Amino acid sequence: MKTRLPDHGPVEAPRFWRTLEERVETPEARQAAHDEFLPGAVPAYDDVHGLPPQSGVSRRDFLGLVSAAAALAATVGCDRKGQGTVVPYTKRPVEVTPGVANYYASAFQEGRRVYPVLVKTREGRPIHLTGNDEHPGVRGKTSPRAMADVLRLYDPDRLRAPKAEGRTLGWTEAEARLHGALQAAKAAGKPVLLLSGAVVSPTRKALLADLKAALPTLEHLAYEPAAGDAAEEAARASYGQSVAIQPRLAKAKVILSLGADFLNGEDPETLAAWGAQRRLKSAKEPINRLWVLEGPLTLTGTNADHRYPVAPSRLAALAFTLARELAAKGLPLPAGANLSALPGGAPADVPTQAWASLVKDLQHAGRNAVVLCGAQMPAAAHQAAHLLNAMLGSEAVALSPAEPLATTRDLEAAVQGMAAGRYAAAIFWDVNPAFTYARAAAWKEAVAKVPLRTWIGLMEDETAAQCQLVLPENHWLESWGDYATPGATVLQQPTVGTLYDTRQGEDVLLGLLKALGSAPAADYHTYLRARWEKAVLQGGTFEQALHDGLVKVEAKTAALAFRGASVASAERAAKGAEGFELVLFPGFAPHDGRHANNSWLQETPDPISKMTWDNPVAVSVQDAQALGIQEGDFVTLTLEGTTLRLPAVIQPGQAKGVLALALGYGRTTGGVAKGVGANAYPLLGLDPATANVRPGARLAKAGGRKELSRTQSHHRMEGRDIVRSLTMDEFLHHPQGHHHQPELVTLYEEQKFPDHKWGMVIDLAACVGCSACVVACQSENNVPVVGPEQVAKGREMHWIRIDRYYEGELENPKVVHQPMLCQHCDSAPCENVCPVNATNHSPDGLNQMAYNRCVGTRYCANNCPYKVRRFNFLEYTAYKTEPETLAYNPEVTVRPRGVMEKCSFCVQRINDVKIRAKGEGRSILDGEVTTACMAGCPSDAIVFGDLKDPKSRIAQLVTATRAYKVLEEVGAKPAITYLADLKNPVEGGHHAN
């Protein structure tokens, strides 16, 4: 404390002094004596004593600052356990800007189908796929499985280094073994078996030719277990060669499907054409008509205008009868078609009147009609379809020559060869015959007789377990390649460097070539580029092709002459034994089994049965009744000595006497795939013509019951106005139907939206229910996977789901699909009940969720009439480590347990565009913001946009006559408008012309 000095100066010289200045009393010394403390050591003002200010900082302030500094220092030092550290790049990779996404064009192959894609990468990690918008066919769309395949890149089960007899080894050693064996085989002239997937790539084809030249004893088989042997068999019979059949629905007015599931999401081009034909503004616009004859209920069947359940073995006979009737009406019957053996009269499977309408419809549509046959249907049905298309002169289907695929007959020959010790070595590249081949035991025995078995693939599978040499392959997102598609040659380029010590299969083959004495190129990239520069690029640069992902080519129309079909084949198909007719089809999620380890796909509900994580056998309503089977009951399915015990589901609309079972389940390897469902491959037939349609199956109750991991357990609409479906007649005369919605009044002030009001329109007429949106959303929004037990409890986390309702008679119901997601209600019931304001409304009409604020009372979910809110009942994310975490979209928060989540209208995409537009000083353009579901929807059923912009597409769509809102009477004012579904049945003799 400072003592106040007397105001007057010293009266006499000081008695004691410290310095000479003080003694002589200079003014400075006097001042210094007055200022007891040095400047800064005393307060600026002494507010306690009211003293004059003397220095800059008070003691109080000083102490305050000290403690603040200490507190800050301590806070900075605080570290929560488990918190990661963020370290900037020490060496920033070229072309990677943190926070900015890069997009690469690439391509993905599944069987014969090629998906040109655009890959979004963040910080070097591929995280999201869409179709390549430059491609004339897919136009920016792709399939659910293609989108989900980005997850496979980060599958923890991926093999990370070569292995031999279970021991990890280097590539040099592994290659030495392979090369040695093959050099020896070449020297000895012993055959080498190479089993790979379908060859759609021209450069791969060239490479295989080079290899064949260097190793003349190479026997190559392209094996696609899901492609349908019957289709291959029939194509060879009808056209004398393998053919790829691509529907051109844009030109089709009448479509007849013989068990063809062309709307199942696999074919974005067809879905786009379908959507374009169904998104009607008025009833005067032309619409196509879809007739479906099928055994099991398919997604295509649910979208049919007329559908009749028919056993697949009957399809050929029906189609041939159709051909005869059309011939009778004057359509030319090609030479070589012999229909004389057919029984007379209209078939009993289809009501007479409907049959007559179908015949008339096809006849009137002529070349605008098309008959499509399901890949798994008997070969005779395919041939009948080929015949019908030839008779109609259909322009709505494009045939192109394709590389042949091995059928069961070829594989059986290979098995015999292996068993006889014919082969010196075998290479299995991206195939899993140990799992997919029907006679697995015989296969195992035969393959053991091959001296060197080499496997090249992504994840060790059943076949890898039978091989000595196991070589890890790149994921396609790490690889080079190219594909021939109608209209463009597509390039596949790596979008990320290899994550592990892997190589792409082509590079392994190139290494082999080198060892065998011919070395066309150092690596596959060089090989591919050289070939492209020589054969594909016409004037353009390779860089430009990589940028675009493709080089456009003229779509060649192949002159494929129809050689004729015989009714005898139909006879063979129809010759049924007693018991059920079993239809084996590739599963929606696993396809032929290759995607079985993909948890996104496993948890995406089957579009029809809404099953996840399982392949129950589907039983028709009539048969279930007769056998007393309830849903989820365990049954035994027996066919030719093979018995499976699996749960049953009752499938409305499935033909009586038909059982349907998905292939690709029941894998015995893979952290996700293992033990999911039952393996149906042993039930496949060995006759390629009828491999997937097997008569003589027996079904019996096995006792016990399984809790089905199904996302929808109630299938009727209970007469509620949820999905509106109009026939064309209704659309013309009363598009609003008989629904009268009284004007809703509210006591509250309407919410104001100053700048934007985001909204969505979903056209149910265009939506086929393919679930591409579900996968797109899962990938974009880091939606967690919960597993079969949790799905069975109703805890799946999808932000968008497809509701599927059956209406009418169970034997052949009308089916409707409805994508259901957060409706972003203006007067949202969820918002006012949240006690902590964790969910609230944004000024641009988004119902937003603040995860950090959410306590988890779940009241919002109870009060949501649409039940689209998802609660993290358990910890679904925290246990994840690399590489799984690499698949996350960094722009979307990963939600912990106890937190509610739901569709955000992809707010991160909205903000991205907003920021970009602001930076460029312009307003947001219509269509610039796309949600993941919209971008992923192949039939363009989803339109997102700003309702405040009167010129926007969405603003026009919401005024459509088909527009309505779901549960409008609740008064929540949803921001999503649905457009009523349209069906185009034959009414009052109104036929397509």
Partner 1 sequence: MADADRKPLLDRAAALLAGPFLLGRQALSLAFLSDRETPSEEPALALQRIPVTPPEHAIKRRG
Partner 2 sequence: MRTDASVHAVPIPEGLLEPALTVGKVTPGSLDDQVLAFPETKPPKQWYLALAVTLTALGIGLACIGYTFTTGIGAWGNSSPVFWAFDIINFVFWVGIGHAGTLISAILFLFRKRWRNAIARFAEAMTIFAVMCAVIFPLIHVGRPWLAYWLFPYPNERALWTNFRSPLLWDVFAVNTYFSVSLMFWYLGLIPDIASMRDRTTSKLRKTIYTVLALGWRGAASHWQHYEKAYLLLAGLATGLVLSVHSVVSFDFATSVVPGWHMTIFPPYFVAGAIFAGFSMVVIVLVVVRETMQLKNLITMRHLDVMNKVILAMSCIMGYSYMMEGFTAWYSMNEYLHHGFMNIITGTYGWAGWITISCNIFIPQLLWFKKCRSSYFWMILVAIGVTIGMWFERFVIIVISLHQDYLPSAWRIYKPTMVDFGILLGTFGLFFTLVLIFARVLPVIATTEVKAILPDAQPSHGGSHE
Candidates 24, 68, 335, 700; binder of partner 1 (CB under 8 A) is 68
- What does each C-alpha distance from 106 to 135, 491, 907 come to in angstroms? 11, 6, 27
Question: Of 855 and 925, which has the nearer Cβ to partner 2?
Answer: 855
Cβ neighbors of 176 (< 8 A, separation 6 or more) are none
As a whole number of angstroms, the distance between CA 904 and CA 310 comes to 43
As a whole number of angstroms, the distance between CA 761 and CA 941 comes to 8
Candidates 21, 25, 35, 123; binder of partner 1 (CB under 8 A) is 123
Is 882 a residue that touches partner 1 (CB under 8 A)?
Answer: yes
Longest dimension (CA), the chain: 146
Burial label, 559 (beta-carbon count in 10 A; 0-12, 13-18, 19+): exposed
Rg, C-alpha atoms of the chain: 35
Query: Minimum Å distance from CB 477 to partner 1?
Result: 9
As a whole number of angstroms, the distance between CA 834 and CA 973 comes to 18
Contact 486, 246 (CB under 8 A): yes
Give the distance, in angstroms, between the CA of residue 356 and the centroid of all CA atoms in the same chain.
39
Question: Of 382 and 610, which has the nearer Cβ to partner 2?
Answer: 610
Residue 746 contact partner, candidates partner 1, partner 2, none, CB within 5 to 8 A by sort of partner? none
Residue 125 contact partner, candidates partner 1, partner 2, none, CB within 5 to 8 A by sort of partner? partner 1
Residue 805 contact partner, candidates partner 1, partner 2, none, CB within 5 to 8 A by sort of partner? partner 2
Query: Minimum Å distance from CB 604 to partner 2?
Result: 16
Candidates 112, 125, 503, 869; binder of partner 1 (CB under 8 A) is 125
Is 448 a residue that touches partner 1 (CB under 8 A)?
Answer: no
* Residue bearing tokens 């499509």: 372
Cβ neighbors of 719 (< 8 A, separation 6 or more) are none
Question: Of 68 and 188, which has the nearer Cβ to partner 1?
Answer: 68
Is 74 a residue that touches partner 1 (CB under 8 A)?
Answer: yes
Is 192 a residue that touches partner 1 (CB under 8 A)?
Answer: no
Question: Of 22 and 46, which has the nearer Cβ to partner 1?
Answer: 46
Question: Of 639 and 838, which has the nearer Cβ to partner 2?
Answer: 838
User: Scanning residues 535 to 574, which ones bind partner 1 (CB under 8 A)?
Assistant: 543, 546-549
Contact 315, 376 (CB under 8 A): no
Is 93 a residue that touches partner 1 (CB under 8 A)?
Answer: yes
Residue 834 contact partner, candidates partner 1, partner 2, none, CB within 5 to 8 A by sort of partner? partner 2
Residue 121 contact partner, candidates partner 2, partner 1, none, CB within 5 to 8 A by sort of partner? partner 1
Is 70 a residue that touches partner 1 (CB under 8 A)?
Answer: yes
Burial label, 63 (beta-carbon count in 10 A; 0-12, 13-18, 19+): exposed
Candidates 17, 45, 851, 859; binder of partner 1 (CB under 8 A) is 45
As a whole number of angstroms, the distance between CA 798 and CA 807 comes to 25
Query: Minimum Å distance from CB 966 to partner 2?
Result: 8
User: Scanning residues 698 to 757, which ones bind partner 1 (CB under 8 A)?
Assistant: none
Question: Of 125 and 667, which has the nearer Cβ to partner 1?
Answer: 125
Residue 899 contact partner, candidates partner 1, partner 2, none, CB within 5 to 8 A by sort of partner? partner 2
Segment interacting with partner 1 (CB under 8 A) among 59-67, 165-173, 305-313, 847-855? 59-67
Question: Of 260 and 864, which has the nearer Cβ to partner 2?
Answer: 864
Query: Minimum Å distance from CB 971 to partner 1?
Result: 44
As a whole number of angstroms, the distance between CA 477 and CA 109 comes to 11
Is 77 a residue that touches partner 1 (CB under 8 A)?
Answer: yes
What are the backbone dihedrals phi and psi of residue 664, each rounded to the nearest 5 degrees, phi first?
100, -5
User: Scanning residues 465 to 494, which ones bind partner 1 (CB under 8 A)?
Assistant: 478, 493-494
Question: Of 337 and 966, which has the nearer Cβ to partner 2?
Answer: 966
Residue-level length of the chain: 993
Q: 3-class SS at 987? A: coil
Is 37 a residue that touches partner 1 (CB under 8 A)?
Answer: no
Taking residues 522 to 541 in sequence order and writing x for each that binds partner 1 by CB under 8 A, - otherwise, the string is ---x----------------
As a whole number of angstroms, the distance between CA 25 and CA 13 comes to 8
Question: Of 834 and 935, which has the nearer Cβ to partner 2?
Answer: 834
Question: Of 338 and 863, which has the nearer Cβ to partner 2?
Answer: 863
Residue 858 contact partner, candidates partner 2, partner 1, none, CB within 5 to 8 A by sort of partner? partner 2
What are the backbone dihedrals phi and psi of residue 832, each rounded to the nearest 5 degrees, phi first?
-80, -10
Cβ neighbors of 416 (< 8 A, separation 6 or more) are 446
Contact 889, 781 (CB under 8 A): yes
606: nearest Cα among 769, 764, 762: 769
Single-letter code of the amino acid located at 52: P
Is 50 a residue that touches partner 1 (CB under 8 A)?
Answer: yes
Burial label, 189 (beta-carbon count in 10 A; 0-12, 13-18, 19+): exposed
As a whole number of angstroms, the distance between CA 21 and CA 31 comes to 11
Residue 722 contact partner, candidates partner 2, partner 1, none, CB within 5 to 8 A by sort of partner? partner 2
**Sheet with 481-485: strands ordered across:** 481-485, 488-492, 550-552
Q: How far apart are the first and last CA of the chain?
A: 107
Question: Of 671 and 794, which has the nearer Cβ to partner 2?
Answer: 794
Site residues, partner 2 (CB under 8 A): 712-720, 722, 790, 793-795, 801, 803-805, 818, 820, 829, 832-837, 853-859, 861-863, 865-867, 869-875, 896-900, 966-967, 970, 972
Residue 11 contact partner, candidates partner 2, partner 1, none, CB within 5 to 8 A by sort of partner? none
Residue 297 contact partner, candidates partner 1, partner 2, none, CB within 5 to 8 A by sort of partner? none
DSSP 377: S
DSSP 309: E
Is 24 a residue that touches partner 1 (CB under 8 A)?
Answer: no
As a whole number of angstroms, the distance between CA 834 and CA 400 comes to 59
DSSP 383: H
Question: Of 470 and 773, which has the nearer Cβ to partner 2?
Answer: 773
Is 878 a residue that touches partner 1 (CB under 8 A)?
Answer: no
Contact 164, 173 (CB under 8 A): yes
Single-letter code of the amino acid located at 635: V
As a whole number of angstroms, the distance between CA 953 and CA 90 comes to 46
Is 1 a residue that touches partner 1 (CB under 8 A)?
Answer: no
Is 100 a residue that touches partner 1 (CB under 8 A)?
Answer: yes
Residue 93 contact partner, candidates partner 2, partner 1, none, CB within 5 to 8 A by sort of partner? partner 1
195: nearest Cα among 429, 374, 371, 391: 429
Is 95 a residue that touches partner 1 (CB under 8 A)?
Answer: yes
Candidates 5, 13, 24, 73; binder of partner 1 (CB under 8 A) is 73
Contact 992, 254 (CB under 8 A): yes
Cβ neighbors of 874 (< 8 A, separation 6 or more) are 786, 790, 795, 897
Segment interacting with partner 1 (CB under 8 A) among 89-97, 632-640, 783-791, 800-808? 89-97
Is 886 a residue that touches partner 1 (CB under 8 A)?
Answer: yes
Cβ neighbors of 330 (< 8 A, separation 6 or more) are none
As a whole number of angstroms, the distance between CA 56 and CA 42 comes to 8
Query: Minimum Å distance from CB 971 to partner 2?
Result: 8
Tokens representing 856 are 């988890």
Segment interacting with partner 1 (CB under 8 A) among 309-317, 372-380, 495-503, 577-585? 495-503
Query: Minimum Å distance from CB 544 to partner 1?
Result: 8
Q: 3-class SS at 363? A: helix
Query: Minimum Å distance from CB 63 to partner 1?
Result: 7
Contacting positions for partner 1 (CB under 8 A): 45, 47, 50, 60, 63-64, 66-71, 73-75, 77-79, 93-97, 100-105, 118, 121, 123-125, 478, 493-497, 499-500, 525, 543, 546-549, 882-883, 886
